Structure 1
């Protein structure tokens, strides 16, 4: 399977879910997953989703500019770099954002 195509599909799923229903991201994380957000390290699926759902905005729209993928590890994982614009409801100007994710495979694709 083409890693770039997998990364693109994953990114589309992740950000469309983030924009519509952040709690729906829970199945992409596991208990050993970690999110580092502005220097804060958050461990575990429930804690990560709690952080994402507590962000100070309810509605947003991501516009992806780049998706770069680097295959990583013997189990077919991948390192994914995403950049783009984040439009918050009620704001005139979009914010720039970037995110790096290490995706590992088990029975399902998940973040680590």
Structure 2
């Protein structure tokens, strides 16, 4: 199967779930999974889900600009880079973000997310 098609399907599923049922994202992570979100690290599906559920914006909508993928390892892994915008309630402008996943199929092993705030 085409890694780019798998990455695109993964990204669509991940952000659709994030926007509509964030708690269900725990199913995409394993006990050994790691999330780095804005410099803070969280390990394990429950800790990662806890962090994502505790974000200051309970509702949002993602708009994806780019998805780049490279195959990684013999087990069908992939490295996926995503950039886009995050629409928050009451905000006029999108908050830009970048996120990198190391995944095998629909299972996330590593996840790094950075929000790109405007300089003050």
Please give the TM-score of this superposition, normalised by the length of structure 1: 0.95
Q: CA deviation at 1:58?
A: 1.2
Q: Which residue of structure 2 aligns with residue 41 of structure 1?
A: 41
The 5 Å alignment of 1:1-112 reads 1-105=1-105, 109-112=106-109
Distance in 2 (alpha carbons) for counterparts of 1:58 and 1:39: 20
Q: CA deviation at 1:34?
A: 0.3
Distance in 2 (alpha carbons) for counterparts of 1:92 and 1:85: 12
Q: Which residue of structure 1 aligns with residue 114 of structure 2?
A: none
SS in 1 for 2:55: coil
Q: Write 1 or 2 for the structure with the bigger share of strand.
A: 2
SS in 2 for 1:52: helix
Q: CA deviation at 1:56?
A: 0.2
Q: C-alpha root-mean-square deviation of aligned residues, in Å?
A: 0.7
Q: CA deviation at 1:38?
A: 1.1
Please give the TM-score of this superposition, normalised by the length of structure 2: 0.89
Q: CA deviation at 1:104?
A: 2.0
Q: Which runs of 5+ in 1 are unaligned?
A: none
Q: CA deviation at 1:21?
A: 1.0
After the TM superposition, which segments of 4 or more aligned residues of structure 1 sit over 6 Å from their partners? none
Q: Which runs of 5+ in 2 are unaligned?
A: 110-120
Distance in 2 (alpha carbons) for counterparts of 1:89 and 1:58: 9
